[in-house]
Structures are given as C-alpha cells and as structure tokens.
Amino acid sequence: MKIQERTGAGAGRSAAPAQPSVGDRLPTAPRERKPALAALAVLLILVGALGATLLVLQAGDRIEVVKVTQPIPAGGSVNTSNSTSVMVAEDADIHYVKWSQRDQLKKLKAVSAIPAGAVAVGEMFGEEAGVEAGKATVGLSLKAGQYPTGLKQGDTVAAYRVSADAGTGSSGNSNSDSGSSSAAGNAVIVDQARVTDVPGAKSSGDQLVSSTNLAVTLTVDSDKAADLAQAASNGEVALVLVSGNSGN
C-alpha cells in the first residue's frame, strides 16, 4: 500500500523544470557609457572642419606673378613682349617673381633657356648669364641697313660678311674685278645665330630708327665667334632673319 501511494503521488508531477513567471525575469546589466569615445568623435569632427577651412583660405590666398609667354634664350631678359601676369596660389617654398617686381627683373639675365609657358622664379635669373658649352656671345654695333627692322630678342638670324668696297671701281675691268671680289666677300659667317639682347628694341615690331648704331648681342657657335667679331669690328656684318623665329 505504501508503494502505490508513493507512485500515485509522483505521477502528477511534470518532468519539465519549472519556468519563472513573466513578472520574474532576470535583471539585465546596465549599459556602460564611454564619454571618452564621444569626446574623441567630436574632436575628429572639429579637426576635419578646421582642415577644410584652412584649405579654402589657402586656395583663396593668390598672388600675381610673372609668366613667360615666349622662349627666352640663355642671357636674355624679360620684357613686355615675352611676359604676362598670372594668378597662382602663394607658396613660401616657391620663389615666384611677383608682377610688381617685373621692372627689376628686366635688369637680370636668364641663366639658361626658359621655355614659353613657364612661371618665372628667382632661380631662373642672375646678374650674369652662363653660356652653353660650345657657344659664345658676340656684340655687334650695326648701322641702319645692316639689320632687319623689328629685330628682337630671341630671333634667329644669319650673319653675312659684306664688303665695304662693293660696287666701286673706275673702269669696266676694275668693275668686273670688284664685283667678283665683292661676291666672294659677301659670304655667310654664321648661318644661324640667336639674338640674345637688343637694347631699345620695340615690342610692337615697329622699325628701329636711331641716329646711333644699334647694339646687338648674338650667341653663336664658338668656332664662328672670331670671324664674326673681326667682321663686326670692320663694320662688314649684315644680319638677315631666317626661319625658326618664334614670332614669325
């Protein structure tokens, strides 16, 4: 009888564990707040905004500088015909030549050839220009008729020897002999020379008219310099423009 009672008493029990009621849920841990991360996020936002502001301000800080519009040979100078102004962003690491300094820049020489389109910087110019290896500069003093009108810095010319006795003589035979010697004397000294400097040349291409001789400096091959200088000292040089000029 006792065994049956125990069995009957256990039959009513469920094998599943008892579940807590809805009102008896387990407590959850409170969320951990991280104020350091929030402060870092705010700081990053502020830094980004400051950087963008600095970029905008730097882009707006522009200066007017000198830009080369025509090639300038070594020893050449900036003038009104081969330069213009352009706006660039100011940079302390780049020694731009400001447009307001162009008059001072005209007194300096290009230390090497400067291509068209280059923005002028201080390192491009100096008191004296270097001469390329195998080249020499020769100064000429020319009268009207010994050079083409509108001659300007950067032009390419040919230098001819012209005899001062051309066309002279007292007889037919002497005229014939003189003509022959003149033809022999009118020879090419330099087939291509670069005009390095023409003081007083006008940028508009107007004729160069002066009561005094025109001083012209040419850059030629070294082996032609002596002949050209000798002919120039005798007043027996005439210049002719040839192809290859940037302005033609």
In this prediction, residue 244 carries a pLDDT of: 61
Question: Which stretch, 150-154, 172-176, 236-240, has highest mean pLDDT?
Answer: 236-240
**Quick check: 179 pLDDT over 70?**
no
HSE-up of residue 220 (Cα within 13 Å, Cβ side): 22
In this prediction, residue 68 carries a pLDDT of: 93
Give residue 228's identity as a one-letter amino acid code: L
The single residue listed with the structure tokens 């009957």 is 8
- The secondary structure of 151-216 as a DSSP string is --TT-EEEEEE--TTTT--SSHHHHHHHHHHHHHHS-EEEEEEEEEE-TT--TT------SSPEEE
Q: What is the pLDDT of residues 2-50, one digit of tens each?
A: 555 555 555 555 555 555 555 556 566 566 667 777 777 878 888 887 7
In this prediction, residue 36 carries a pLDDT of: 77
Q: How far is CA 154 from CA 85, 131, 135, 211, in A?
A: 20, 15, 15, 24
How many residues belong to the chain?
248
Give residue 175's identity as a one-letter amino acid code: N
Looking at the DSSP bridge assignments, the partners of residue 98 are 65
Q: What is the pLDDT of residues 118-157, one digit of tens each?
A: 999 988 888 766 667 788 888 888 888 889 888 887 888 9
Mean pLDDT of 226-234: 89
Looking at the DSSP bridge assignments, the partners of residue 157 are 193, 241
| Spatial separation of the C-alpha atoms in residues 197 and 141, rounded to whole Å | 12
Each domain of the chain, given as residue ranges in start order, spans 60-126, 135-241
In this prediction, residue 194 carries a pLDDT of: 86
The single residue listed with the structure tokens 């670069």 is 194
In this prediction, residue 174 carries a pLDDT of: 41
Q: What is the pLDDT of residues 45-103, one digit of tens each?
A: 888 877 776 766 555 578 999 999 988 877 788 988 899 999 998 888 889 999 999 88
Q: Which residue has the higher pLDDT, 238 or 197?
A: 238
Please give the CATH number for the structural domain made up of 60-126: 3.90.1210.10
| Spatial separation of the C-alpha atoms in residues 87 and 96, rounded to whole Å | 11
Q: Which residue has the higher pLDDT, 33 or 209?
A: 33
- 205 φ/ψ sector (left φ>0, alpha ψ -120 to 50, else beta): left
In this prediction, residue 69 carries a pLDDT of: 92
In this prediction, residue 40 carries a pLDDT of: 78
